[in-house]
Structure 1
């Protein structure tokens, strides 16, 4: 009997979430992204596919930008918070939204989908842990061992589980075309950039180096900014505008842009975690470079090291399996 592809195995591991969000559940989905980080958009697409695949009924969806100040949630609803890499004190708006949900809904089951946890301030970490530990039915999924160990030490009254990123529910993605170019350098340019990326930077030129901010054209980025304005207006109007349905269609277009780009290269070298995950979803050779606090290497070591088409920059050299 043929063994499962490593990506099939990761997709199977997401079924652990069904232990706390059973098929057929009714849920509120909170904190889906309305900005130009394609990695978070991939997580959202994977989450929505998970809901669809297991007949999980989403009664309402809210971004950080239009989450109501006062929200009535039916007793039988589970509140689900988007996964990603913003649990901690680097991205205050998203953390504050999660903490508001935990504070305001003590009688509802709350599930945080797979996150990387990173606090730079120990006092803030302790304050968050105290709040979460006071909730009787809070379930925290994390994407790497460092986050798992941290959560097990701090969030002792929460149920903590290790689980891959939600984007793996999208496996397999079909490449848009046969590759015609050599190497795509998909590299961070923000505060999470790792100093060790510098000599990789020298390998790339402007024609084959991109990031989420530069993958999308200026007009596409302006489109995202317009959506953000509509979301702010929607909150003022009490959720009367159909912003979410139009935004989801627009994100389909943006994700197709990313798939088309990646598919046009034979290999990807990336310091974006979801540059790595998207490459794996497309079953293409890729090398992942760490970010500033070890998120990428931690993820690789737990989940994707067994993928013959994936490698970790700086690890003992090994030959990546090339596409046939």
Structure 2
């Protein structure tokens, strides 16, 4: 049986692993960080914040250029950062499930041949596997593409399919660090996927008294507009990059919305990878189920299995039973 560790110890260890793997991959020069996740999914905003914090802490830099898929411009990138690496936001969107992100990487490869490019930690899913052939050819032609993946399955696939350097590292959201949860109001919080990565046929049991079911794909547009403009203004007043500051403010707003949601339960039950990661950052005991293609389980096996507050399940009934055990035995539940 592997050693059981606290959230604090796990976070510190994973931050050092990220630093050991990722820092040497980023060459000198002005940094561009693209594919900002300007949508409601909290997990992708957590990744963005972790990447920004990593660059600040370990490299002492702020990106010179940032863009969403829709706002990206080759000309604007070259004007803001005529040299240096292009970093691509990490996550679980490279492959056939989320084709816009796949197509965006193809575009970057074609528009910046020979320029250092790093795909930050990702989970890969190509179905069928031959769907990766086009991007493999583009990587070979580009010549300076580096890929970081988050799990062993992605690592094996990437090393078989892609003509580039491939490395294994944890999710960048761990660079946010330990976060203080809010006061809970329910015994259980079920945060379950409602998108195309949901496991079909996964039946929700009768929700026990003191339970709540939700996802984190809805947000207040007004609150976001205020955050964006305050962030942009703050960045400009400090002489920094107004767009990056606006993106950071949006991501932080979404992250804290996720904290508020997760904090509602003394125990969280989820099939979202970043609900698992954020529950670990918050030190909230939780039960993890898998998503449609094994992303959650693969990540846990690679990095977070030792966390003392984690239990795993394959069905909702198993998850609820494990959650009741956590509620009865974990000191964090009583303390919160």
Q: The TM-score by the shorter chain falls in which range?
A: 0.7 to 0.9
Q: 1 CA distance for matches of 2:290 and 2:123?
A: 14
- Which one of 56, 60, 65 corresponds to residue 61 of structure 2? 56
Q: How far off its partner does 1:249 sit?
A: 2.2
1:1-324 to 2 correspondences below 5 Å: 5-15=9-19, 16-21=21-26, 25-54=29-58, 55-70=60-75, 71-72=77-78, 74=81, 76-155=83-162, 157-175=163-181, 177-195=182-200, 197-200=202-205, 202-203=206-207, 208-214=212-218, 216=219, 220-221=220-221, 245-314=245-314, 320=326, 322=330, 323=332, 324=335
State the Cα distance separating 1:227 from its structure 2 match: 10
Distance 1:191 1:205 in 2: 29
Q: CA RMSD in A?
A: 2.9
- Distance in 2 between residues matched to 1:100 and 1:40, nearest whole Å: 21
Length, aligned pairs only? 303
Name the CA shift for 1:222/1:81 in 2 (closer, same or farther; >3 Å): same
Q: Do the aligned residues in 2 keep the contact of 1:36 with 1:224 (CA within 8 Å)?
A: no
Alpha-carbon distance, 1:226 to partner? 11
User: Deviation string for 1:146-192 (max 9, x for gaps)?
Assistant: 1000001011x3110111111011111122x3333211000011111
Contact kept? 1:11, 1:169, Cα under 8 Å:
yes
Question: Which contiguous aligned blocks of 4+ residues in structure 1 show a shift greater than 3 angstroms?
Answer: 73-76, 202-207, 221-228, 241-248, 315-321
Matched-pair contact (CA < 8 Å) for 1:185–1:204: no
Change (3 A) 1:226 1:121: farther
Partner SS for 1:195: coil
Shift of residue 225, structure 1, vs aligned partner:
9.5
Distance in 2 of aligned mates of 1:11 and 1:119: 28
Is the contact made by 1:197 and 1:289 (CA closer than 8 Å) also made in structure 2?
A: no
Output the CA distance in 1 between the equivalents of 2:50 and 2:111.
27
1:251 counterpart SS class: helix
Structure 1 residue runs of 5 or longer lacking an equivalent are: 229-240
Label 1:61 to 1:168 Cα distance change in 2 as closer, same or farther (>3 A): same
Q: 1:150 to 1:304 in 2, by over 3 A?
A: same
